[in-house]
Chains A and B, each alone.
Chain A
Amino acid sequence: MTLRLFKAALAALALGSAALPSLASAQEFERPVRIVVPYAPGGTSDILARLIAPKLSEAIGQSVVVENKPGAAGNIGADSVAKAKPDGHTLLLADIGTLALAPTVFPDLTFNVQNDLAPVGMVMFAPYVLAVHPSVPAKNVAELVAYAKANPGKLAAANSGIGGLNHITAIALAKDLGIEWKTVPYKGGSAASRAVVSGESNVIINGATATLPFVTNGQLVGIAVTGEERLAALPNVETFKEAKLPLADAGTWQGVMTTGGTPPEVVARLNAELAKILAMPEIKDRVAEQGGSVRPGSPDDAKAWLANAIKNWGEVARAADVKIN
């Protein structure tokens, strides 16, 4: 009896192992997956990565580790992903807008953004807020332009670091509006918004996460926002599009990439899991807390977006003549 049972079990096992190969190909992840965040802990990318990691781990049945590799505007972390084994086990969660500018702004870049990295999918978008210190008598774009023209040299636009998308946006904006302002670089977005609150600089263009709290509590005055529609928190502030400003699609674009040359089916699997995670209400809520909205999409959409951004924003950066080294 027991022997027969044993034999039956053996047979079942043999059958099972015969069926295993097909199962194994569905199980693409045989070791822990790393999500590299190329910035210090605590920023938007880091928070997103730490939100996504446990959910992804559940879905693929492997542990998912978040690793912070800060330095050189995110290029050190991105480089480590670009040079990893192309099997989808090393992911990058970063501001793709900044990554799109890198080839133009950093001619010494150690990797090729389009070939050495493969987009998995977009994660979120948070619009930029253009705001001024209350000492600047302007409430909309027209008044700001009028003030700038009447008071040359009075405006100083803070940005979160040289060569970043908000730096380029400030230069492009001034050019388009025919006004002049100094662009003052700070170390990171929160230092920049603090400087504008204290009045050291008096204009800021930066992500809603860092800027919106100061506008809603009245320490800064909102002038315009990027993105397709007005912000729910600032219904009276016009969009870049309404004000006919360039770079209306600028903002914080967070996305997931993996190593270039990763098999498309692995990327597809990752994208499918990412889409499921981004559809979870708790994730949506946390992203909204960061001042943005989730942007699920296919890898090809992300690829096209990246190519477009590299071309368009690169042109703007070249026109602004921002080059590092």
Chain B
Amino acid sequence: MKAVLRLIPAAWLALLVAAPLVLVAIMALSWQAEGVPPYSPPWAGEGINPDNLRLLAEDPHYRDALAQSLVVAALTAGLCLLVATPMGIAIARAGRGRNALLGAVLLPFWTGFLIRIGAWIGLLRDEGWINSVLRALGWIDQPLPLLYSNGAMLLGMVHAYLPFAVLPVFAAATRLDPVLEQAAADLGATPGRAFLTITLPQLLPALAAAFLLVFIPAAGEYVIPELLGPADATLVGRVLFQEFFQNRDWPVASALAIALLALLLGPIILFQRLGRSA
């Protein structure tokens, strides 16, 4: 009975999680070919194809895409942390209004991120809300090129991922003992000192978790750079889409996926360690 109960989810996980990842690895070593599907596997006669992975290491187009993705993900996670840390702490200390405030942070998550990206498009377009307001105020003559910029992309990323960063900070802040800050004050620490020496250090694991919780998905983000970023923001998610859908180069797309996974392996393991200790 026990073994049967285990078998069902185990079979599901093997088929829909493990097997697909193995297929990606095989595909990364396959050859692009004419036909449907457009590839020829290593056992079809040509053997293992080492060129896809080598291409990623040697071609600056792919190398830069991977590097740029990590930079954008780190910037997004850092900015999220900057906004989320005071928010999480303040909400944890809000007393009776706590649940309502937490709900206000999480509700945008339930309403879907495409809608929020849409809102930013409407705000940032050349004929968008911000440009019309600035023009009505007489501050500008020509619309500012706000949309399709790195700034717009980061803004959208931070907006989309902020709730993920607030949650761990909030959860850790509710577990803080408020008496500790009083003890620090009693021992001569000013409120600012007490925050820096007592509150913040205790939140460090949660801050690290929040950073990674944003960093990991942001590194592979496709939709937001596509909708808000400049055309030359060649992040790995976008390059992967291009290779797969436009160039129909499944092996290179798979190699990119493998490379992205390899780069994220460290952060993922670190994140799971943090999750276990929390």
Pairing of A with B: no
Chain B residues within 8 Å of A, Cβ to Cβ:
none
